[in-house]
Amino acid sequence: MIINWYPGHMAKARRLIEENLKIIDVVIELVDARIPMSSTNPMISKLIGSKPSVIVMNKADLADPAVLDEWVRYYKQKGRHVIVMDSKGGRDIKPLIALLRSLAAPRLEHWKARGLKNRSIRTMILGIPNVGKSTLINKLARRNAAKTADKPGETKGKQWVHIGTQLDLLDMPGVLWPKLENQLCAYRLAATGAISDTVFDMETVITQLVRELGQWYPDELKKRYKLENIGAKPLETIDMIGRRRGCLVAGGMVDLEKTYKLILKEYREGIMGAISLDRVADFSKGADV
């Protein structure tokens, strides 16, 4: 199955990014800490070019701490600036602001030399849908400056948000790329909610999710659903979960659709535990960061 989601407003978002980047001093690239590489739009790095930028790994409270540490080391080895953050909790907001000011300092000195002594730092926040951009903006601004939603594609246009003393942020719509060539990444994007639930096959995505959970987090899976063991195949595990949770229809058959939705909801909410799907080893060779 091919997962491919590129609403018309995302094409418009790309044009907005290209038009506004020239007035931006430093870029914030927001990724999902559970799937940092899968949630990295390769188009963004090409658009940014050599402009100063910082990667913010959001939703860190939902990610496996050990795997998260590996990703931080990976990005730093690549020479990238990185901040780990749980935007809902608001931690690490001050270090992020300090880093933005530091990265923008040379450009501000340039403008100061030209007589613009009080020019604000202009930053842009970019990322794919549903990685928490609006929530992060509201934490930075300390008010509800951006609309938040648990569905992708909610932000449709650009908006300037005043963050603090001489710091302005330009929020842009989330942008996926036109063709998701790596379908494993596409499945992970679907599982985390970056792709609308209406455009992918639930069975395919949940089967892949359960396969990876069984590979990397069998103990968490067994504990959450009170399973004695993991099935030889993902569908066997899904069937056992459905029976444990009473997701049954007439005749004692498992209601698969109900079970799929249950597993997806509990994964997205972190109820199963801190779980990471992207592994550094899978992307480290030739990865485009």
Residues at the binding site for GTP are: 58-61, 130-135, 174
**What H or E segment, with its residue span, contains residue 121?**
strand 121-127
Q: How buried is 171 (Cβ within 10 angstroms: 0-12 exposed, 13-18 middle, 19+ buried)?
A: buried
DSSP 214: H
Angle subtended at Cα 120 by Cα 117 and Cα 126, rounded to the nearest 5 degrees: 150
- Under a CB-based contact definition with an 8 Å cutoff, are residues 262 and 239 in contact? no
Phi, psi of 58 (to 5 degrees): -90, 165
Task: Tabulate helix, strand, coil % of the chain (nearest 5).
Answer: 45, 15, 40
Phi, psi of 82 (to 5 degrees): -140, 140
Tally: H helices and E strands in the chain: 11, 6
* Lookup result for tokens 């985390």: 192
Structure tokens given for 275: 């779980």
- Under a CB-based contact definition with an 8 Å cutoff, are residues 40 and 31 in contact? yes
Which residues make up each annotated binding site?
58-61, 130-135, 174
* Distance in angstroms (rounded) separating the CA atoms of residues 188 and 147: 25
Phi, psi of 231 (to 5 degrees): -65, 155
Structure tokens given for 66: 């050990």
